[in-house]
Chains A and B, each alone.
Chain A
Amino acid sequence: MNMTLKTVLLAGAVLALGSTTALASGGGGGGGGGGGSVSAPSESAPQYDPAAEYAKAVAAIKARQYKDAARAAQHVTDAVPKSPDAWRLLGAARAGDNDWKASRRAYERVVKLAPDDASAHAGLGVALANLKDPKAQGEVDWLKARLQACGDACPDAANLKALTGAVEGAVAGGPAAPKPSAALSGHMLFGGPKAGDAAYVQAVSLINQKRYDEALASLADAQAVFGPHPDILTYQGYTWRKKGDYARAEQYYKQALAIAPDHMGATEYYGELKVERGDLAGARKMLAKLDRICTFGCADEEELRRWIELGHEPQR
């Protein structure tokens, strides 16, 4: 098998993850041929690859080009409005641009989507402090309570301390408001693709070892680097499914398929979820879709077929 050829030729892509080809062949934006466009403006508007825009925003923040970063991050939130990572990135970019109202709004979305996200609480606290909003103290208190619950020896202690200090500094009206790096300190955001790939590979291994909570943590690290990438979202869905939270799993599969409608892994695993819920008709629709998108056949399709034939997960 010489699929290596394809992967080496794809080496210039942002990611080196499993289904990068699925992403590349997914989307299918724009176009339409023939004579004259009859499409609405919303249909002919530029379409963005969220993972690529995310990478662009990270690079712009690193270069302190916050307006560019915000523009790219906005594209990500437009494409994947339920991604906390995307909103966190937008919050940081807006903060860098001293647009504290917009920063606050972005971080509020993160807190709503991911209530336990310490860096989001910190970002929100910094934005509120710069807006002279007394609610900033509430974020300091949240971080302190988290630190206390965590204890000095917990792995997150140093990060929580740094975040708390940053918000306290902003509330105290220090000489300069903490910049995005404060709200993102200890975060994988700037870890770079190698670190992101390593976190992703580690997560897949942890899933196979049934260490689902650790796998989710690794996937979160990978997502911080790559943003809402369909491969990562697919495995987040898979892991939540294995933890028995089907509703949450479905959200992730839907997010992955919203970004890459022809993602083979997400289609297969969503089909398996439907089997587990007893929705065999829905699972068959996923199988029919795999039959269409798996040109030259694929293991994903055969695995889902086995699930449907048995009505449950095949025995291993």
Chain B
Amino acid sequence: MRWAPRDADPVATFARVPTECLAPPRDPASALSVEVGRAAFRTPVLLGGQAGRAGLTCETCHKAGRGNPSFLFPGVSGPPGTADVTDSLFSSHRGDGIDNPKPIPDLSAAKAKLKIAQAPAEHRLEPFIHGLITEEFDGPEPSKAVLAGLADYVRALNTAACPAAATEPVTVGYYLADARRALQAAKGEVAAGDAPTAILMIASARSRLGLIDERFAGPALSAERRQVRAADRRLAQAQDALRARHPDVPAALDAWLRDSRGLEARLAAKAPASLFDPRRLTQAARRRLPG
């Protein structure tokens, strides 16, 4: 499946991302909730169903909580940047038999422009997101903390918080920073005794490692891929430990977080030889794209 048009500009589409317009709350509990939502937003395991199996996440359509003008999924999109959310391809609940793709909204746009009222008092956002996960994408029932976190994350997206630069480069550090934030959220949920949510947070960190791995393609970078995969294995073990209720998970996560600095330095040193390098990315895309 292709999630971007074949003629998409590789640099604009894959080498840069929009900057995130996030205004995190000050109190620690709310900040943790936003971080839980932020991580859940970035893992296909949240969605499950056909979308999750295809590796789609909330962020596939809403890059950095914005929109995605390049999104193109066969059978679901019309023009790039649109999606038919009532198509049966992803949903066994909401298919309406009508091909009616709509533009993907920018979740960081002015709140008044968005379809769903976000004020907590209106109690509309959580049911809407719940329906998206479980009905639109046939995903599993999210934990309370994940559902609340997603709503809090979306509420914390705010035009006023947009950085001056509209985009930023995709780097090893960019993805590893996300992984670290997800693991900090995991630690918070472990402390709160919510293992299922913590497991999902670790899943989010693992999917970010997957995005690093795919850019270190080719035999010359096999040593770097091995390091990324070893880091992933440690996280998979932490998930297993949580399922088995072992008490040593926070220490394992702390160790991983410490070691991730060294991993980042080693990977960053080799990044110019990887598809993190815009020139190499462009060459690879041009070489492989037929016609």
Chain A residues with CB below 8 A from B54, complex form: 3, 18
Are A296 and B213 in contact (CB-based, < 8 A)?
yes
Per the bound structure, the CA–CA distance linking A275 and B229 in Å amounts to 30
Are A208 and B134 in contact (CB-based, < 8 A)?
no
Which of A2, A12, A208, A295 interacts with B92 by CB under 8 Å? A208
A-B Cβ contacts below 8 A, count: 141
Chain B residues with CB below 8 A from A17, complex form: 1
The B-contacting residues of A in range 208-225, CB under 8 angstroms, are 208-210
Which of A7, A206, A297 interacts with B3 by CB under 8 Å? A7
Which of B48, B50, B236 interacts with A204 by CB under 8 Å? B50
Q: Classify chain A's interface size.
A: 35 or more
Chain A residues with CB below 8 A from B53, complex form: 18-19, 264-265, 298-300
Which of A2, A18, A210, A297 interacts with B1 by CB under 8 Å? A18
Per the bound structure, the CA–CA distance linking A19 and B52 in Å amounts to 12
Are B213 and A297 in contact (CB-based, < 8 A)?
no
Which of B3, B48, B217, B275 interacts with A302 by CB under 8 Å? B48
Chain B residues with CB below 8 A from A114, complex form: none
Per the bound structure, the CA–CA distance linking A200 and B3 in Å amounts to 17
Chain B residues with CB below 8 A from A296, complex form: 206-207, 209-210, 213, 232
> Contacting chain A: which of B120-128, B257-265, B281-289?
B281-289
Q: A5-B275, A201-B74, A208-B91 are in contact. Are A297 and B2 (CB under 8 A)?
A: no
Chain B residues with CB below 8 A from A291, complex form: 236
Q: Which A residue sits closest to B204, measured CB to CB?
A: A297
Q: Classify chain B's interface size.
A: 35 or more
Interface string of A170-213 (1 = CB under 8 A from B): 00000000000000000000000000010001101110111000
Q: Which A residue sits closest to B4, measured CB to CB?
A: A4
Per the bound structure, the CA–CA distance linking A112 and B275 in Å amounts to 50
Are A316 and B138 in contact (CB-based, < 8 A)?
yes
Per the bound structure, the CA–CA distance linking A295 and B227 in Å amounts to 13
Interface string of B30-45 (1 = CB under 8 A from A): 0000000000001111
What's the minimum C-beta distance from A150 to chain B, rounded to whole angstroms?
A: 27
Per the bound structure, the CA–CA distance linking A72 and B211 in Å amounts to 36
Report which A residues bind B (CB closer than 8 A). 1-12, 16-19, 197, 201-202, 204-206, 208-210, 264-265, 291, 295-300, 302-303, 306, 314, 316
* Given A302-B203, A314-B140, 18 extra CB contacts under 8 A: A1-B44, A3-B3, A4-B4, A5-B14, A5-B214, A5-B275, A7-B4, A16-B1, A19-B53, A204-B50, A205-B87, A208-B138, A295-B232, A296-B206, A296-B207, A297-B43, A298-B44, A316-B138
User: Can you give 20 contacting A-B residue pairs, CB < 8 Å?
Assistant: A1-B44, A1-B59, A3-B55, A4-B4, A7-B3, A8-B6, A8-B14, A8-B289, A9-B285, A19-B53, A204-B50, A205-B88, A208-B95, A210-B92, A296-B209, A297-B210, A298-B44, A298-B55, A299-B45, A299-B52
